Amino acid sequence: MTPDPLTIPEEFASALLLARDRLGIFAHQILWYLEVGSTNDIAGAMADRGAAEGLVVLADRQTAGRGRLGRSWVSPSGAGIYVSVVLRPSTTVATLLTIAAGVAIAEGITSATGLAPHVKWPNDVHVSGRKLAGILAEGAVGHVVLGIGINVQSAAYPADVASRATSIEAELSRPVDRGLVLAECLVALASRYRELQDGRGRRVVDAWRSRAASMLGRRVEWESAGIQQVGLAENIDDDGALIVKVGASTQKVRSGEVRWL
């Protein structure tokens, strides 16, 4: 059973109110929970029951936050932003959705804080070589739940995560307004999603490329049909697949994970 949402705390409410006219599809229903297993589960259950596109589910902490490829997402109280949105994209829009989400979250963080993160294929958000935010897209019939986790304050990450993670406050050495970061990320996501719907996916891909400059041209390793492959990441194509040069040939990686060497 889905718990009842609570009143959105001031920290988020005032920033969301100020951004209201720019929130687009995310302006209408924002639900706040103190503690959930995973915001993606709450949003997914509501989408299954017919929730409208644009529903936002936000929690202070998650007890079973999850990441891509079966990993967990450490979600302590107050340290991060844990949010999921319900989208109902067409097949064409869905193709570039995770690319658009990565760009939007990087842009939102820049607008709110001045920090300029990079995107790492397919949709990780990095700064100084460490992960700052991650996106988990989970699709079902008729909807996609986009779950976004942003590290605002450093937390007690498990040892394997600690060496690869950072937070906005650690990078800036100052406190950061979680509400403002959330509001600007939702504004950017609404705007990039709109571009996809309007057939302007090319702009999204170009924005991704300019945020990925430091990642392109680097050696990557990935697995394809059980075989470990190594190549040079060259670019993404217009459908968001990673183009990798392997010897004299070119390959496209469409899903899964690449390791940057």
46 vs 135, beta carbon nearer ligand BTN: 135
45 vs 232, beta carbon nearer ligand BTN: 45
Q: Which residue is nearest to ligand BTN (CB)?
A: 134
112 vs 165, beta carbon nearer ligand BTN: 165
What are the residues whose beta carbons fall under 8 Å from the beta carbon of 159, sequence distance 6 or more?
none
71 vs 202, beta carbon nearer ligand BTN: 71
Site residues (vs ligand BTN, CB under 6 A): 38-40, 62, 65-68, 71, 73, 82-84, 124, 134-136, 147-149
Q: Tell me how far, at minimum, the Cβ of 180 lies from ligand BTN, in Å.
A: 18
Return d(Cα 224, Cα 120) in angstroms, integer.
Answer: 19
**Computed from CA positions of residues 172, 174, 178, 183, in that sequence, does the dihedral angle turn out positive or negative?**
negative
- CA 60: distance to chain centroid? 17
Q: Tell me how far, at minimum, the Cβ of 120 lies from ligand BTN, in Å.
A: 10
Q: Tell me how far, at minimum, the Cβ of 74 lies from ligand BTN, in Å.
A: 9
Residue for token pair 């040079």: 232
Q: Tell me how far, at minimum, the Cβ of 39 lies from ligand BTN, in Å.
A: 4
Return d(Cα 121, Cα 249) in angstroms, integer.
Answer: 20
> Shortest CA distance to 126 belongs to which of 158, 168, 156?
168
115 vs 161, beta carbon nearer ligand BTN: 161
**C-alpha distances out from residue 111 to 144, 147, 166, 245, 255, Å:** 26, 20, 18, 34, 29
Tokens in use for 31?
């639900």
Q: Tell me how far, at minimum, the Cβ of 33 lies from ligand BTN, in Å.
A: 11
Strands of the sheet containing 143-151, edge to edge, are 30-36, 56-62, 80-87, 143-151, 130-140, 124-127, 118-120
Q: Tell me how far, at minimum, the Cβ of 72 lies from ligand BTN, in Å.
A: 8
84 vs 113, beta carbon nearer ligand BTN: 84
